[in-house]
Chain A
Amino acid sequence: MSDKLKIRLSFFAALLLWILFAGSNIYLMFVKNYEMKVDFSDLFPQLAFSLFVFFTFIYYRYAITKADSLNFTDLLWKVFIIGLVTALLSLGIQGFFMLFANSNIVKSPITFNLFYDVLVALVIIYTISTLVAWKRLILYQKSKALLRLWRLFEIAFGFALAFDFFGNQPNDNYFIAATLVLALLSLSLVFNLKWVAYLNFRQKWKGILFILLSGAYLYYFLRSLIWFSDPDMLVMDMLDRVFIWGLFGFLFTYAIISILVILFNLPTSSVFEQKLKEALDFQRLSQSVPRAETTDQIYETLIDSAMSAVFANAAWLEIHDNDGTRQVIRNLSEEQVDLIKARIENKFIKDILNLKLRRDATTNKLRDSIKHPKFKSIMALPILVQDEQIGYIVLLNEMSEAFNREMVSILTTFVSQASVSLENLTLIKESLENEHYKEELKIAKTVQKSLLPASLINNKHLIMEAFSIAADEVGGDYYDILEYEKNKFGLIIGDVSGKGTSAAFQMAQMKGIFHVLAREGVSPDVFMKKANLALSKCLDKNSFITATYFNIDAARSKLSFSRAGHCPGLIHCTKDNKVNYLKSDGMGLGILRNSSYDKYVDKTEILYGDGDAILLYTDGITEAKNENGELFGDARLKVSFEKHCDKNPKLIKEGIKDDLSEFIGRLERDDDYTLVIVRFKHNTDD
C-alpha cells in the first residue's frame, strides 16, 4: 500500500467514523429524551469516537512527513495553518450560538449536540495533527530508548481511549490516577528538544511565534469545550475523558517547554551557526585536494577559515619551501607584519616564526599578548608537511586575552587538515615527477640505442660480433668501430657513469670524440689524452667515462691499445690456446681534468696470430649478481670465454650470454652490459 492510498483511506475512515459517532450520539439523545426502549448500546458512539481518533492519527502520521533540519519551521507552519482553519470554523459555531442565543434552535438538544460533535471533530483534528508534529520534533535524532518510550506513550493513549469507555468522572480516583500516568509519561518526553539547536536566529523567532499561536489555539479549544460542557444537554462530554485531558496537557507542556528552551537558546544560536560554519570550512579544506587545487588556494582557504573560526582581526601566513618564500596577509601591510615580528617577546612563538619548531608544543604556549598600539593578542601555529615545518600562521586580535584554549585546538585541527592537503598535493607532484623521470629514461634509452653502430665490420681481416642491453637505470655503454685507413681500424668500448639523459648525452659526446680522433688515426695514448681534455669541460663533476681504445693494423697483425680505467679485455691466442688479459695501466677519463692526466696514460702493443679473438665487455657482466649476492666476476667470465673461444664470434657471444643468465638465475638484471668479440684473420694477399 502506498502512502498516498493510506492517507486517502484513513481520511475516509475517519470521516465515516465521525458521521457514525455524531449519528449515534443524536440517536442516543433521542432515546434518552423520548425514553424509547431500543436495544442500542451507548458503547457504540464511544467506539466510533475512539476509531475516529485512531484514523485521524493514522492520517496525519502519513500526511506530516518526517522532519529534517531544514523544515522545522515548515512543520510548525503546518500546525499553525491547521490550527487557524479549525479555530476559525469553531469560531463560526460559537458565533452561531451567540447570534441565535435566544432562539429555540440553539436550545434544541439536537442542534446543540450536532454542533458539539463538529467542534469535537475540529478539536481532534487540531490536537492530533499537533501531536504528530510534536512527535516528529521529539523524535528528531532519536535514540532506541526514546523511540521505545514514545511507543509506550502512544499505547498509553490507546489505553486511555479504552479507559474512557467506563465513563469515569474527572473527580474519581481512577480518573486521576490514569491522568497522572499520562502526565508522567508526557513529562519524560517533553524535554527532548534537540531540534532547537539546529534553528538559526531567525528560525528561532519564527518558532517561538508559531508555538505561541498553537498554544493559543489549544487554550481557545479548551475554553470552547468548557463552554459547551453541560451534562443536561450533552450525550457525551469530552471533558469527562482522560484522553482529552492527557492530550491537552501534553501538547500544552511541550509548547511551553519549547518556547522556554528556544528563548534560552536565542543568545547562543550564533555559536551554533559558528560551529556549523567551522565544520563547513573544515570540509572545504579537506576537499581542496581532490579538486587538485594549488597550494596557494589551500593557503587562502586556511587563513580565511582560521580567521573566522577564532574571530581574528588580522592574520598572516608565511611559507618557506623550494619555490621560495610566500606570504598571505589579511588586514595588514607588509611593514606592519615586520613590526609585529619585531615586537614578539614570547620565545616559543619566536621559534615558530623562525621555523625552529620544538617538539614540546603545548596549546598554552601558542598564544600570548603583544605590545602593539592596535593588536593585543597573538596566536601562532606551525605548518608541518611530512614532519618538517614549512611555515606558520599568525592570528591577531585587537582585544587582550582574545584567544582561548579551545580556539587553539580548533586552529590546530584546521592547520593539520591543511597540512594533509598540502602533503597530498606534494605526493601528487612527486608522482608526476616520477612519471616525468620514467619518460626521460625512455628517451635516454632510445638515444643510447641510436648511438651504437648500425653495422659492424665483417671482412677478410676481422669478424666482429657485439651485444648490448640497457637496464632500467640507463648507464651508457658504448662501443664503435671504423676503418680510418685501408686495413686500419679504430675500435672503442666505453662505459659512462651516471644516470638518465645526462649519461646518454655524455655517451653522445664520447661518440663525437671517437669519430673525430679515430678518423685522424691517432695512436691510442694520444686518443685518451685528447679525449680526457675534451671531456674535462663537459662531464658532470662526479661523472667519468671508462674506455679502451684499440688501433688494429690488419696488414701487420698489430694491435695497440690504451686502457682508460675500463675493465681489461681478454685475448684468446690460438697458438698456445690460452686466454690472457689485455693488461695496461691507465686511468678513467674525467677523473683528472688537467694535463696531469697524461702521465697516467699507457700504450700497449701486441701482435696477434691468425684466428686469435678478443673479448671486450663492460662491468655490467662481471658485476652481475646471482640470488646469493655473488658476482659473476672476472674468473667466471674468463672460464666462459675459454669454453667458447673456438667457436665463431656469434656462438661465442651466445655462449657467454647463456652462461651469464644461467648464473644469475631468474633475477632481473640491474645494470647494462655489453659484449664485443672480434676475431682476426691473416690475409696478406692484397
Chain B
Amino acid sequence: MTEINKENKEDIHLISVKGEIDAGSSILLDNAFREALKNNKKKIAADLSELEYISSAGLGVFISYLEEFSANNIQLVLFGIKESVKQVFDILGLEKLLLIVKTEKDAMNAFDD
C-alpha cells in the first residue's frame, strides 16, 4: 500500500511517497533518507502529493533527521502536501522547522546553491 520511490535528479535526491506512513512503513521513509545521506546528496526533495496519512512514527522520522541534515548542510524541501496532512505537521509545529512549498517547481527553486 505504501510506496516510496527514490530518484536522482542531477544533484537532487527526489523521494516520492504514496499512501500511508505508519509505524510499519516509516522504516521505508527512514531508508530513503538514509540512502540520500549515504549518497552524499546535499539536496533532498520529498513529493508528498500522494501521502494520505502520516502517524506520529512517520513524523518521528522527519524529526530524527532534522539535526543531522542541518549539521551536514543538507537541505530538505517538502512539496505537494495535502491540507489534511499538512495540518498534522502544523499542529506539531514542524512547519516552522521544515521547508514546505506547493509545487515541485517551487521546491527546485527553494534550494540554495
At the interface, yes or no: A212 with Cβ under 8 Å from chain B? no
B56 touches A587 (CB 8 A): no
Tell me whether A191 is interfacial, beta carbon within 8 Å. Answer: no
Shortest CB–CB separation between residue A450 and chain B, in angstroms?
Answer: 23
A544→B23 contact, CB < 8 A? no
**Contact yes or no, A591 B91, CB < 8 A:** no
* Chain A residue with the shortest CB-CB distance to B63: A591
Is A490 in contact with chain B by the CB < 8 A criterion?
Answer: no
Task: Tell me the smallest distance from the CB of B104 to a CB of chain A, in Å.
Answer: 26
Partner of A546, one of B23, B53, B92: B92
> Do B92 and A543 have beta carbons less than 8 Å apart?
no
User: Could you tell me the distance in whole angstroms from the C-beta of A476 to the nearest C-beta in chain B?
Assistant: 10
Interface residues of B in 57-76 (CB under 8 A from A): 57, 59-61, 63-64, 66-67
B94 within 8 A of A: yes
How many residues of chain A get a CB closer than 8 Å to chain B's CBs? 28
A592 beta carbon closer than 8 Å to chain B: yes
Taking a contact as CB atoms closer than 8 A, the residue among A542, A585, A588 that contacts B61 in the complex is A542
A593 CA to B30 CA, complexed, in Å = 20
A591 to B70: give the CA distance in the assembly, Å: 13
Interface string of B23-59 (1 = CB under 8 A from A): 1000000100000000000000000000001011101
A498 to B91, CA, bound (A): 18
A473 contacts the other chain (CB 8 A)? yes
Q: Which of A495, A499, A600 contacts B96 (CB 8 A)?
A: A600
Tally of chain B residues near chain A (CB < 8 A): 20
Distance in Å: Cβ of A545 to nearest Cβ of chain B: 10
Proximity string of chain A (576-611) to chain B, C-beta cutoff 8 Å, 1 when within and 0 when not:
000000000111101111000000100000000000
Instruction: For the complex formed, measure the closest distance between the CB of A543 and the CB atoms of chain B, giving whole angstroms.
Output: 6
Chain B residues with Cβ below 8 Å from A564 are 93
- Evaluate contact between B91 and A568: CB separation under 8 angstroms: yes
Q: Is A246 an interface residue when CB atoms closer than 8 A count as contact?
A: no
Contact of A565 among B53, B61, B91 (CB under 8 A): B91
How close is A502's CB to chain B, nearest CB, in angstroms? 12
| B57 A587 Cβ-Cβ under 8 A | no
Contact B23 A591 (CB under 8 A): no
| Nearest-neighbor residue (CB-CB) of B92 within chain A | A565
Pair B23/A600 contact, Cβ less than 8 Å? no
- A497-B57, A498-B60 known; A588 and B23 CB under 8 Å? no
CB neighbours (8 Å) of A498 from chain B are 56-57, 60
Given A497-B56, A568-B91 in contact, is the A591-B61 Cβ separation under 8 Å? no
A445 interfacial contact with B, CB 8 Å: no
Partner of B67, one of A544, A546, A567, A593: A593
- Docked complex Cα distance between A600 and B98 (Å): 14
How far is B83's CA from A430's CA once the two chains are assembled, in angstroms?
A: 41
CA of A565 to CA of B94 in the docked complex: distance in angstroms? Answer: 9
Residue of B55, B64, B97 touching A542 (CB-CB under 8 A): B64
A587 close to B93 (CB less than 8 A): yes
Cβ-defined partner of B97 (8 Å) among A585, A592, A623: A592
> Which residues in window 437-489 of A have CB below 8 A to B?
473, 475
With a cutoff of 8 Å between Cβ atoms, the chain B residues found around residue A593 in the complex are 67
Q: Cα distance A40–B94 when bound, in Å?
A: 125
Residues of B with C-beta under 8 A to A499? 23, 57
How far in angstroms is the closest Cβ of chain B from A89?
88
CB-nearest residue of chain A relative to B20? A629
* A residues in contact with B66, CB < 8 Å: 591-592
Q: How far is the CA of A480 from the CA of B73 in the complex (A)?
A: 41
Nearest to B87 among chain A residues (CB) is A634
Given A568-B91, A588-B93, A591-B92, residue A542 in contact with residue B23 (CB < 8 A): no
What's the nearest-Cβ distance from chain A to residue B85, in Å?
11
Q: Which of A541, A567, A600 contacts B64 (CB 8 A)?
A: A541
Binding site for A on B (CB under 8 A): 23, 30, 53, 55-57, 59-61, 63-64, 66-67, 84, 91-94, 96-97
The 4 closest A-B pairs by CB, nearest first: A587-B93, A542-B64, A497-B56, A542-B60
Can you name 6 A-B pairs with beta carbons within 8 Å? Answer: A542-B57, A542-B64, A543-B60, A591-B63, A600-B93, A623-B53
